[in-house]
Amino acid sequence: MTALPNDRPFYLLHEDKIQANLARIQKVKSATNCTVLMALKAFSHYQVFHLLAETLDGCTASSLHEARLAHEYFPGRHHAYSPAYSPRDFPEWTNYCQTFVANSLQQVEFLQHLQIQNKLEVGLRINPLQPEANNPLYDPSSPQSRLGVITKHLKNQWPKGVNGLHLHNLCENDSHSLDRTIRALERDAQFALEACQWINLGGGHMISKHDYDVDHLIQLIKYLQKRYGLKVILEPGAAVVWEAGDLHAHVLDIVAQDEVATALLDVSITAHMPDCIEMPYTPQIREGRITSEGCRYRLGGNSCLAGDFVGDYHFDHGLFIGDEVVFLDMAHYTTVKTHFFNGVHHPSIYLRHTDESYTCLKTFDYTDYQSKL
């Protein structure tokens, strides 16, 4: 279709932005020959997997369903990492993924038992005890973290038959965070670096941000390849679809109480932008600013949750019923996390192609709400 239909509200994904992000990732791949996997937890629109697969080598799945989606729609080799695999999901997992990362030594044993029958490759996630994420909710490397084995507990012995080392301690970080992490590994886990064939440096590398030092990342990868003979794997999620989607909402009503004017939108913050409440953060919008002079509005969602609102924004002009408000950077960790709380109408999902035509990826109706329950 050449124009968006009058279908509101909707998410709009941008093919050109995805391609620009992939081009930055391709630069890293071309310079280092490293493997880059798509972390499906961040974004799993299988309808655009063909675009991602032009650059990325496969997926990393954190559940059986993600693994199956990768197998069905994404050509390549797929990895699995789950904090705890359930016996219920085996052997099906092994139809979809070739490499499994364990989160504990008990899980290594569990996977090695299966390995004999299925020729699986097994890795172990370690906790590098190198906190780099700004928000504790996204920091897996505290000493009490349930994610990954603390290397000193391995007593300088890397488990037999485990040929990969996995870590994930970054969240929207720069290359210097990775640099510090590699130094922490060399301090505490040199034996692991020497024992393994591959290292998976997890996600959280904000490669797509304009000020990310891609050349520094390339240097770090080359260092690990040369110094330890390691095959290097990255598994970014957010960086692949960074700033590659918006949520288009519309004003349904305006209510003013106690000097606060709230524009009630046809979307819900908790249902359609859950990270804004969970993280929490205040997203950028196309029309207004978060702080400045002008007409101030609180943007509220259409569920009955009292906290279903996001920030106060200033607009150059008053808002009116029917006005559009566009929330920016709503591709990563957004459409994968939405839900049907209150049965509120779920935004449709469109893709804008580079030739400015549109494809509808998904619309939602009563049956989606009803069939989930």
Ligand X SMILES: Cc1ncc(COP(=O)(O)O)c(C=O)c1O
| Binding-site member from 81, 85, 315, 327 for ligand X (CB under 6 A) | 81
Residues 239-278 that bind ligand X (CB under 6 A): 239
Q: How far is the CB of 235 from ligand X (least distance, A)?
A: 4
Alpha carbons 177 and 155: distance in angstroms, whole number: 26
- The answer to whether residue 237 forms part of the interface with ligand X (CB under 6 A) is yes
Contact assessment for residue 251 and residue 323, using Cβ atoms and an 8 Å cutoff: yes
Pick 74 or 81: Cβ nearer ligand X: 81
Strands (E), 21-62: 35-39, 58-61
Q: What is the DSSP letter of 47?
A: G
Q: How far is the CB of 233 from ligand X (least distance, A)?
A: 10
Q: Indicate which single residue of 42, 178, 189, 331 sits in contact with ligand X (rule: CB under 6 A).
A: 42
Nearer to ligand X (CB atom), residue 167 or residue 265: 167
Q: How many CB atoms lie within 10 A of CB 165?
A: 26
Stretch that binds ligand X, among 103-111, 231-239, 283-291, 320-328 (CB under 6 A): 231-239
- Classified as helix, coil or strand, 131 is coil
Long-range contacts of 222-228 (CB under 8 A, 24+ apart): 222/31, 222/32, 223/182, 224/182, 224/193, 224/199, 225/32, 225/34, 228/193, 228/194, 228/196, 228/199
* 123 is a site residue for ligand X (CB under 6 A): no
* Interface with ligand X, residue 168, by CB under 6 A: yes
Residue number, 127 or 348, with CB nearest to ligand X: 127
Q: Which is nearer to ligand X, 41 or 248 (CB)?
A: 41
User: Is 12 near ligand X (CB under 6 A)?
Assistant: no
**Interface positions, 185-214, toward ligand X (CB under 6 A):** 202-204
> What gap in Å lies between CA 49 and CA 71, rounded to an integer?
11
CB atoms within 10 A of CB 26: 15
Q: Does 171 bind ligand X (CB under 6 A)?
A: yes
Decide: is 76 part of the binding site for ligand X (CB under 6 A). no
The residue from 235, 243, 246, 308 that contacts ligand X (CB under 6 A) is 235
State the nearest-atom distance from the C-beta of 167 to ligand X, in Å: 9
- By beta-carbon proximity to ligand X, the closer residue of 89 and 323 is 89
Asked if 132 is part of the footprint of ligand X (rule: CB under 6 A), the reply reads: no
Kindly state the tokens that stand for 310.
């996001």
**String marking each residue 280-319 x if it binds ligand X according to CB under 6 A:** ----------------------------------------
**78 lies in the site for ligand X, by CB under 6 A:** no
- Minimal distance, residue 240 CB to ligand X, in Å: 8
Residues 38, 58 contacting (CB under 8 angstroms):
yes
- Beta-sheet strands, E only, within 55-167: 58-61, 79-81, 99-102, 121-127, 149-150, 164-166
Q: How far is the CB of 234 from ligand X (least distance, A)?
A: 9
Structure tokens at 334: 């957004």
Can the peptide bond before residue 280 be classed as cis, meaning omega within 30 degrees of 0? Answer: yes
The neighbouring-strand residues paired with 200 are: 166, 233
C-alpha 199/C-alpha 230 separation (Å) is 6
Q: Is residue 213 within 8 Å of residue 24, measured between CB atoms?
A: no
User: Under the rule (CB under 6 A), what is the footprint of ligand X?
Assistant: 39, 41-42, 81, 168, 171, 202-204, 235-239
